[in-house]
Amino acid sequence: MTDIDNLKKEFAGLYGPGADPLLFFAPGRVNLIGEHTDYNGGFVLPCAIQYGTYMLIRKTEDGMIKLASVNEKEKATIPVKEHFLKHEILWFNYPLGVLEQFNRKGFASGGMELLFSGDIPSGAGLSSSASIEMVTAFAVNHLLNSRLEITELALMAQKAEHDFAGVNCGIMDQFAVGMGKAGHAIFLNCTTLDHKVIPVQLGRYRLIIANTNKRRGLADSKYNERVAECQLALAFLASRFEVKKLGELGFPQFFKGQDAIPDEIIRRRARHVISENQRVLASVAALLRNDLPAFGALMNASHDSLRDDYEVTGVELDTLVNEARKIPGVVGSRMTGAGFGGCTVSIVPEEHVPDFIENVGKNYTLQTGLQASFYIAEISDGVRQLTN
C-alpha cells in the first residue's frame, strides 16, 4: 500500500512549491477466465484488484510534461508538443502514449507534473501498464475537462499500448481497470464492449495470486506471435464462414470447418480461443448460480487449454498450478494474463491459505529454483480520484 503522505513529500521535493496536486488511483486486474480471447473479439471475465497505481498530478504554465515514478530511477522533462513521439525509456511511453491520444482528439495537454507510485508487481501479468495508462487518462480527462466516458478512455489507453509500447493487446486490461466494481467481475464482449457486472460470492474462499517472479515483457515475448497465429487461423476459416473475429465462431462451426486450417499448430491456437469463449459463458452461468466448484473446474480446463493448445504457460506457471491443485479444498487454479511467466490465480479455502502459501511456495522453489510471491486479492472498484 502506497504511503500517500510520503508520496506528497516526494512530489514536493521533485517539483517544488505550488498548488496542491490531485491524487488518482487505477487498480490492476486479474482475469478470472477468458485468456487470449480479447484480441480475438471474444468474451472475458476480469476483475479489478486492490493493488494498483497512485498518481499525483498538477498543471503548470511552463509548457513541460514532467514524469517521475517512485518505482523507477528515470525521470523525464518533455516539451509539450502537437504530437508526442515514442521514448527510448519504456515506462515513459505509457503516459506519453495516452497524452498523444488526447492530442489526436484535439485536447491540448499543456504543462503537467506527474508522479506515479505502484504496488502491482511489474511484468507479472496483472496489468501494471494498463493501470498506468488508465490513471493517466482519467486524471488528464479531469484536468482538461474533456468529459470523455471511461469506455472512450479505455480505448485511448489501448491505442497508446499499441502505438507506444508495441503490444497488440485487446481491450480487456484497460476496460477492467476502468470499469471495475468491488465484489464483481466484468463479463465483457470485446467486440461490442457490451458488458455486465457479475457478482463473485467467494464466501469462505479467497482469491490467491501467485507470482512466478519470472520476468517477461509482452512486447518481446511471443504475445504478438500468438496474435499473428490467430489472424492466420481466421484467414483460413473465413474461406468457409462469414466471420471477422475468431470469437464469433461456436464449437459446431469450428468442428465443421477446422480442416480448412492446414497447419496443426494454427488449428490448436484457434481451438483454444473458441473453447475458451465457451468456458467464459459457462463460468458466468456458474457464478450466477453461486456454483464455485463448477467455476473452478472451468478455471482448470482453461489452464490446460492454455498449456496444451495455446502453449503460453511454461514450467513456472505449470508448476504453480500443479502444486496449487494438490492443496485440500482448492477448487480451481490457472494462469492469468498473457502467460510466458507472470501469475496464477487460485480459489482457496480460507483455512488452507497458510498451507497453500507455504507448500506451494516451497515446492515451487524446489522444482524451479525461483521464489514465488503470494497476494490475497480483493475485488475492487476501477479508476477513480482519491481525496488527499
pLDDT at 219 over 60: no
Q: Which amino acid, residue 71?
A: N
Grid cell for residue 31 = 482475469
What average pLDDT does this structure show over 249-257? 92
pLDDT at 125: 66
pLDDT at 308 over 70: yes
Phi, psi of 268 (to 5 degrees): -70, -35
Q: Is there a contact between 386 and 24 (Cβ–Cβ < 8 Å)?
A: yes
* CA dist., res. 10 & res. 126, Å (int): 26
Q: Is there a contact between 195 and 187 (Cβ–Cβ < 8 Å)?
A: yes
| Average pLDDT taken over every residue of the chain | 94
242 three-state secondary structure: coil
pLDDT at 85: 87
How many CA atoms within 13 Å lie on the side-chain side of 13? 9
pLDDT digits (tens, 9 = 90+) for 78-109: 999 888 989 999 899 999 999 999 999 999 88
In CATH, the architecture of 201-377 is: 2-Layer Sandwich (3.30)
Task: Give Cβ neighbours of residue 64 (< 8 Å, ≥ 6 apart).
Answer: 77, 78, 79, 80, 111
Q: Is there a contact between 327 and 349 (Cβ–Cβ < 8 Å)?
A: no
pLDDT digits (tens, 9 = 90+) for 187-212: 999 999 999 999 999 999 999 999 99
Angle at 54 between CA 50 and CA 55, to 5 degrees: 160
**Between 180 and 337, the higher pLDDT residue:** 180
Strand arrangement, sheet containing 205-211: 332-336, 343-349, 205-211, 373-377
Domain residue extents for the chain: 4-198, 201-377
What CATH code would you report for 4-198? 3.30.230.10
CB atoms within 10 A of CB 78: 16
- Is there a common fold for 4-198 and 201-377? no
Question: Quick one: DSSP state of residue 165?
Answer: I
pLDDT at 1: 64
Of 35, 29, 21, 11, nearest in space to 223 by CA: 35
Task: Report the share of the chain in percent with pLDDT over 70.
Answer: 97
By the 10 Å C-beta count (0-12 exposed, 13-18 middle, 19+ buried), 250 is classed as: exposed
What average pLDDT does this structure show over 253-276? 97
CB atoms within 10 A of CB 77: 11
67 three-state secondary structure: strand
pLDDT at 217 over 80: no
Q: Which amino acid, residue 204?
A: R
Q: Give Dmax over CA atoms of the chain in angstroms.
A: 68
Q: Is there a contact between 137 and 156 (Cβ–Cβ < 8 Å)?
A: yes
- Beta bridge partners of residue 348, listed in sequence order: 206
263 among known catalytic residues: no
| Catalytic residue, candidates 38, 173, 309, 318 | 173
